Amino acid sequence: MEKYYVTTAIDYANAAPHIGHAYEKIAADIVARYQRLCGKKVFFLTGTDEHGSKVQKAAIAAGFDSPRAFVDETSSKFKEAWRRLLISNDYFIRTTEDRHKEVVQEVFRRMRQKGDVYIGKYSGLYCDGCEDYLRETDLVDGKCINHQRPPVHSEEENYFFRLTKYKEPVRQWLLEQEAHVLPAGRKQEVLNQLDDPELGDFSITRSRRSLTWGIPVPDDPEHVIYVWIDALTNYITGAGFLSDEEAWSTWWPADLHLIGKDITKFHAIYWPAMLLACDIPLPRLVFGHGFITVEGQKMSKSLGNVLDPVYLTEKYGADAIRYFLFAANTFDQDGDFSRAEMIKIANSHLANNLGNLLNRIVTLIGKNFTNAVPDIEAEQKYLDLADAKTEQYCQAMNVFEFAKAIRCVLDFVDEGNKYLADQKPWSMFKEYQETKDEAKLREAGRVLVTGMKLVKRAAILLAPVTPDLSEKIWKSLGYTESVHSITFNSSQFSHEITPGQVINNPGPVFPRLEEKETE
């Protein structure tokens, strides 16, 4: 069985999760569920980044006795949020785990043994938000472009990593046919950064005088290993490096690092360089996605628009949030979350289009065929359309064009609704009752079986996006196993609809969201 290892960026445990964190985790979940649907053995890793100055300061500000107690509470909030959003991660890693500490220190040792680590003094502008030193040319109006605040001048003696030694090998990796950073524009940004002579060796430790909450440098407890070694190595810790040889040989290299566009440099330059220094194979793909605004504005505590995913799932349900974020936004670009738009689109696509098609079909089969699927062939041209749209769906999903993939499903659902509206099987049943003309009964049955097969296909293809809704549809169609156990290859599915299959009618599988819920 082919494997697929997908990771997200691990989130700083200095505050509770918000919709921006959720956007990336849902995207990774869609990828993981889709790869499982394609029959692959999947490992999906997410987690929290729990060391560093920001976490240490947040713990003090929140009145905790220790950073550890603080991150224990904060990481549990992330876990709960992802559970509510139906995130199917196989493991949730925390950088405070003992096995991760061992990995971080081993990576440091390997780089030092290879001569790629040295002591030096750095003096420059430091952005606490980026956890990185900046240059004057990186600033706009004297402020960091990502965090909109001026960096502070910092100077101390640190250990440095010889990035300059690996700039050319990283470039060659980026230019190889099989090695990619996506989208293409981000890959070019990375290549441009590699051309910058000012991109040099970088600090990988902090003095214990400035940072105490972190993993000590091996054989030098006066220094603490700094964020990028600590954070980035979570991907190999999660895959079993040093702790599980079988898992390590199975999962590494990662097939996809899914990250925000603001940390592409660290994943596409720093991380490959560190892996090369440790003689560890490089990941296959880094994808830097866009950001999510709220009602057209960047999320900000001062604006009061930082949205809690748990609150949103309680109010609207996970499927509506998941569907809207990826049906209404282009993943490689910045997108927006609007409650009014979410309600409008979810009601239109899920309640009206898909839900209405299913409801009509199961109701008519229930009334006219005693809840059993009739032994009648479907209309082939609609199955051919679904096959063609499935091919397009796969092409889009393989390059993370989620909105386009969803549109492919809606296209044949729309055709199914139009088919029922044009053929009017309810009128055929009435005519049959009046005339007892068996041809009319079979004609009506053909329409319903055709529509049922389209709904079945939609349930499977939307399962990565709307897992609960797809499961409800699947069970309505009379299947006992889970829709998430289904695998397919192109348009060939492992489950078909069989004559006599008993359908269920539980009522609306996606109740309409209230239009007034826009507060």
DSSP per residue, 363-385: HHHHHHSTTB--S----HHHHHH
Establish whether 257 is a catalytic residue.
Answer: no
User: Tell me: the pLDDT tens digits for 208-254?
Assistant: 888 899 999 999 999 999 889 999 999 999 999 999 999 999 999 99
18 catalytic? Reply is yes
Q: Report CA torsion sign: 23, 28, 32, 37.
A: positive
Position 134 scores a pLDDT of 78
What pLDDT sits at residue 518? 45
Q: What is the pLDDT of residue 265?
A: 96
Long-range own/partner contacts, residues 425-430 (CB < 8 A, 24 or more apart): 425/364, 426/364, 429/364, 429/367, 429/368
Domain ranges of the chain: 339-493
Q: Is the pLDDT of residue 499 over 50?
A: yes
- Indicate the pLDDT class of residue 491, thresholds 50, 70 and 90: low
Beta strand pairing status for 220-225 and 152-161?
unpaired
Strands 143-144 and 139-140: antiparallel
Confidence of residue 298 (pLDDT cuts 50, 70, 90): confident
Model confidence at 517: pLDDT above 80: no
pLDDT at 283: 97
303-319 pLDDT, tens digit per residue, is: 778 899 999 999 999 99
Catalytic residue among 153, 301, 436, 516: 301
Query: Among residues 405, 385, 395, which one has the least CA distance to residue 461?
Result: 405
Model pTM score:
0.93
Helix (H) or strand (E) holding 418: helix 402-423
C-alpha span between 516 and 70 (Å, rounded): 38
Query: Catalytic residue at 147?
Result: yes
Residue with tokens 């057209």: 296
Is-catalytic flag, 51?
A: no
pLDDT one-digit tens code per residue, 64-107: 999 999 999 999 999 999 999 999 999 999 999 999 999 999 99
38 is catalytic: no
Which entry of 41, 298, 367, 430 is annotated as an active-site residue? 298
- 10 Å CB burial of residue 377 (0-12, 13-18, 19+) is exposed
Active site residue 144: yes
Q: Given this model, what pLDDT does residue 400 score?
A: 97
Q: Which of 100, 127, 257, 456 is catalytic?
A: 127
Check 130, 278, 394, 408 and give the catalytic one.
Answer: 130
Topology classification of domain 339-493: Isoleucyl-tRNA Synthetase; Domain 1 (1.10.730)
Mean pLDDT of all residues in 191-199: 94
CA atoms of 56 and 65, how far apart (whole Å): 11
Report the 3 state secondary structure along 65-89.
Answer: CCHHHHHHHHHHHHHHHHHHCCCCC
Which of these is catalytic: 144, 278, 394, 408? 144
Q: Which whole number is the average pLDDT over 261-290?
A: 97
Q: What is the pLDDT of residues 355-406, one digit of tens each?
A: 999 999 999 999 999 999 999 999 999 999 999 999 999 999 999 999 999 9
Cβ partners under 8 Å of residue 140, min gap 6: none
The whole-number pLDDT of residue 211 equals 87
Query: Taking residues 492-505, what's their average pLDDT?
Result: 82
